[in-house]
Each structure stands twice: as C-alpha cells, then as structure tokens.
C-alpha cells in the first residue's frame, strides 16, 4: 500500500509539473490595436437571471468594437422573472447596438445546448462568442478575439474567467478550486493537449460549429456545451484550437452563494466526465481523484498505525507544493493573489471534497436553474 501510494504521488507530481510547463508555454497577450476586421455574434442563454442582467448588459454596452461588426443574441430559456423590462430598457438606451431576444425551444435533454444552437442558426456573423448571464465582459473582449484570430488563424479560442471577489470561506474554497481549473486548462493548451474550456468565455467559427455537427452526440448530457465542442473541433481540426492568455480578456463571473448550489454545480461538472473522448482528460481526472483518495486513506491508515505519518507527510507536502506553484502562477495571471492565504486550509479540506463529490456522483442527480437533471 505504501509503495502504491508513493507511485501515485509521483505520477501526480509529474502531471502537475507538466501542466506548469504547459502554462508557461502560453505567452501573455496584450492589446495591439489590431484593425477590427472579424464579425462576432455574442450568444448568451439565460434563465431567471433578472438580478444579473443589468450588470451583464452594462458591460456589453461598454465593449470597444465597431457596433456594425457584432450583434448580441440573448436566448430566454423559460424565464419567469422580470427580465423583459430590463431588456427593454437596455434596448431603448442603446439604440445603435444590434440586439435580438430569442425564445428557446427545447428539443433535447440539454436546454442550454438547445438555446445556443437556436441562436447560432439565427446569427448573422462569422464568429460565435459565448458567455453566461451572470458574467461581466471586458471592454477589449472582441478586440482581443479579433487580434488572436488574425495572428493565430484558429477555429476555436478559449479565454480566461475568474470569480468576482467576495469574502467568505465558501468563496475562497471555490475560488482556489476554480483557479486550479483555469491553470490546468491553460497548461493543457500549452502542451497542445487541450482538455477543458469554459463557455463563459469562448469563441469559435460558426462554419466550424456546423461542420462538426454542433452538439450532436452529447445532447443527452445537460452541461458540456463547451468541453464537448472543444473535443470535437480539436479532433477534426488538430492544432486549430488555442488559448487567449490575456489579462484584458478576462470575463468575471459569480461564484455559488450556498454550499448546496456549489455541490450541485460540482456534480453537474463531474457528470459529463464519463462522456469525455480525450484519453488525456480521463487520465487527468483519474489521477486527481486517485491522489486525493490516497490522502484520505493515508489519514485513516496513520490513525490506525501512527508510524506511517512520515509517508503521509511527504506525500501531502509534495502535493501541496506542486499544486501551489500552478495555482499561484494562475492567480498572478488573474490578478487574484489575495485568496492564496487560505491555500493551506483549503488544501486540507479539498481531498475530502473531491472524494465526497465522486461518491455522490454515483447516486445523486443534480439541480440546475430550478430544474432536476439525471446524470
């Protein structure tokens, strides 16, 4: 058991160090004021987001890009709140913006994919940009996508997301967990093995979406509009996906405001992992789970046999240090270093959280936007 634990910890250490090298392989991008050329359709599904829409729309109105080169498509997914007045006020205050409100039609088990697909079919521009209704987008958002398209000639661009700052342990735990995901995402792109992206800040060519048949083949899974599309495009067009590592392209989003909603979010995210086609994705998921499971088993074994504490200590410190390097690099890029002071405490809780989530994934369905979904 000791030798197996040490072997797993070495594999984990090599994986994280490899992702760190991948992270450093992606250059930081700054705005070069590239001439606006590409056209964008901003696609945003929403459901009962009246409390978030004013902030989102305000950020959209501040985008610095020629208004004739982009449109905004909001897709209503059966909202029953007071969203209409908010949107009407926005349209009246921004008469020069090309804006459309679309009402989604459910046709699969994934309402979000249905909404995005419908919007893309009705869009009129070459590039699709997606974000979420609880987000704020940066002013140079489209400008930087335009620049990256001109320089890299990609078919899909993933870009960074970070949480809006709060001050609670739940927030700090989520934030460090999310920061590690962003760092791993960038690392994967840097290794030319992209395995993860975030639909809150994603850009892809409309023609390519239809060439890979959109979300066909994974519409039975409620989430995953981002990752499954990345897998499809990367498989059909190798080396045509890239990461826009730019501070000026960071989209802000909300963390979950309760333990229950956070838990449901994690179950939702984890539930799509069984449908991943990328062997690298599966390897990472298995390695991360096994490493955290080993730590919990190590704690139990040490309680029963205290002489084992030295092995547990070495394994935990090795994980603590390697994770910290990746997370601190990512936090620095995101200008989000303050939560790092909670890193040690969070690291003690994290193994239990991972194993707990994996266990409940086998038995528990999840709630999302007021709907219950089966895995």
37-89 pLDDT per residue, tens: 999 999 999 999 999 999 999 999 999 999 999 999 999 998 989 999 999 99
Query: End-to-end CA distance of the chain, in Å?
Result: 33
Same domain, 12 and 117: no
**Of residues 176, 131, 139, 180, the one with CA closest to residue 158:** 131
Domain-embedded: residue 269: no
Please give the average per-residue pLDDT across 359-368, as a whole number. Answer: 66
Beta bridge partners of 241: 156
Q: Is the pLDDT of residue 365 over 70?
A: no
Distance CA 242, CA 246 (A): 12
Other C-beta atoms closer than 10 Å to the C-beta of 50 total: 17
The token duo for 179 is 């920061």
Write down the pLDDT at residue 363.
64
**300 domain-assigned:** yes
Looking at the fold, whether 148 and 201 belong to one and the same domain comes out as yes
Nearby residues of 95 by Cβ (< 8 Å), 6 or more positions away: none
The answer to whether 184 and 243 have CB atoms below 8 angstroms apart is: no
Claim to verify: residue 209 and residue 287 sit in the same structural domain: no
Last residue of a domain, one of 191, 223, 258: 258
CB 134 within 8 A of CB 54: no
Q: What is the mean pLDDT of the chain?
A: 90
C-alpha distances in Å from residue 281, one per residue of 38, 192, 272:
32, 13, 11
Q: pTM for the complete prediction?
A: 0.92
265: exposed, middle or buried (Cβ count in 10 Å: 0-12, 13-18, 19+): middle
Domain that holds residue 224: 27-258
Neighbour-count burial for 133-145, b at 16+ CB within 10 Å, e otherwise: bbbbbbebbbbbb
Q: If DSSP codes are grouped into helix, strand and coil, which group holds residue 283?
A: helix
Residues 194 and 167 in one domain: yes
Q: What is the pLDDT of residues 90-113, one digit of tens each?
A: 999 999 999 999 998 887 778 899
Q: How far is CA 155 from CA 203, 206, 208, 230, 322, in A?
A: 8, 9, 7, 10, 33
Domain total in the chain: 2
Do 185 and 309 belong to one domain?
no
Do 179 and 331 meet the contact criterion of CB atoms below 8 Å apart?
yes
Residue 164 maps to a domain: yes
Q: Are residues 47 and 158 in the same domain?
A: yes
Same domain, 9 and 45: no
Residue 264 falls inside a structural domain:
no
Instruction: Kindly state whether residue 324 falls inside one of the protein's structural domains.
Output: yes
Residue 372 in any domain: the answer is no
- Is 191 found in the same domain as 96? yes
**Rounded CA separation 272/374 (Å):** 11
Residues 160 and 71 in one domain: yes
320 lies in the same domain as 202 = no
Q: Is 273 a member of any domain?
A: no
Give the domain CATH number at 245. 3.90.550.10
Q: Tokens 């074994």 appear where?
A: 301
- Structure confidence by residue, pLDDT tens digits, 203-236: 999 999 999 999 988 877 767 789 999 999 999 9
Domain co-membership, 31 together with 145 = yes
In a domain, 33, yes or no: yes
Query: Given this model, what pLDDT does residue 102 score?
Result: 95
User: Where does a domain end: 225, 258, 291?
Assistant: 258
Same domain for 246 and 110: yes
């Amino acid at each position: 058991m000791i030798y197996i634990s040490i072997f797993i910890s070495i594999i984990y250490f090599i994986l994280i160090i490899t992702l760190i090298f991948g992270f450093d392989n992606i250059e930081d991008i700054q705005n070069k004021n590239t001439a606006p050329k590409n056209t964008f359709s901003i696609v945003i599904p929403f459901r009962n987001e009246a409390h978030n829409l004013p902030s989102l729309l305000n950020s959209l109105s501040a985008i610095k890009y020629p208004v004739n080169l982009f449109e905004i498509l909001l897709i209503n997914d059966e909202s029953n709140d007071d969203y209409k007045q908010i949107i009407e006020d926005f349209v009246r205050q921004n008469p020069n913006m090309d804006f459309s409100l679309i009402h989604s039609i459910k046709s699969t088990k994934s309402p979000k994919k249905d909404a995005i697909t419908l919007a893309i079919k009705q869009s009129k521009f070459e590039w699709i940009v997606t974000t979420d209704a609880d987000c704020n987008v940066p002013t140079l958002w489209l400008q930087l996508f335009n620049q990256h398209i001109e320089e890299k000639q990609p078919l899909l661009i993933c870009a960074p997301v970070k949480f809006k700052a709060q001050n609670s342990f739940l927030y700090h735990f989520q934030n460090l967990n999310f920061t590690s995901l962003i760092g791993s995402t960038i690392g994967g792109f840097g290794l030319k093995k992209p395995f993860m992206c975030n639909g809150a800040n994603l850009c892809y060519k409309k023609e390519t979406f239809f060439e890979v048949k959109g979300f066909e083949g994974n519409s039975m899974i409620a989430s995953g509009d981002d990752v499954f599309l990345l897998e499809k495009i990367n498989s059909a067009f190798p080396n045509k996906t890239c990461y826009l590592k730019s501070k000026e392209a960071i989209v802000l989003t909300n963390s979950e405001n309760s333990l229950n909603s956070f838990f449901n979010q994690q179950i939702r995210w984890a539930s799509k992992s069984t449908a991943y086609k990328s062997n690298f994705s599966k390897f990472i998921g298995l390695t991360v789970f096994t490493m955290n499971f080993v730590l919990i088993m190590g704690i139990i074994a040490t309680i029963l046999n205290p002489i084992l504490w030295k092995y547990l200590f070495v394994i935990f410190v090795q994980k603590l240090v390697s994770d910290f390097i990746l997370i601190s690099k990512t936090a620095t890029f995101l200008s989000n270093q303050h939560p790092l002071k909670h890193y040690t405490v969070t690291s003690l809780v994290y193994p239990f959280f991972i194993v707990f989530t994996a266990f409940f994934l086998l038995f528990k369905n999840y709630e999302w936007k007021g709907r219950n979904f089966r895995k």
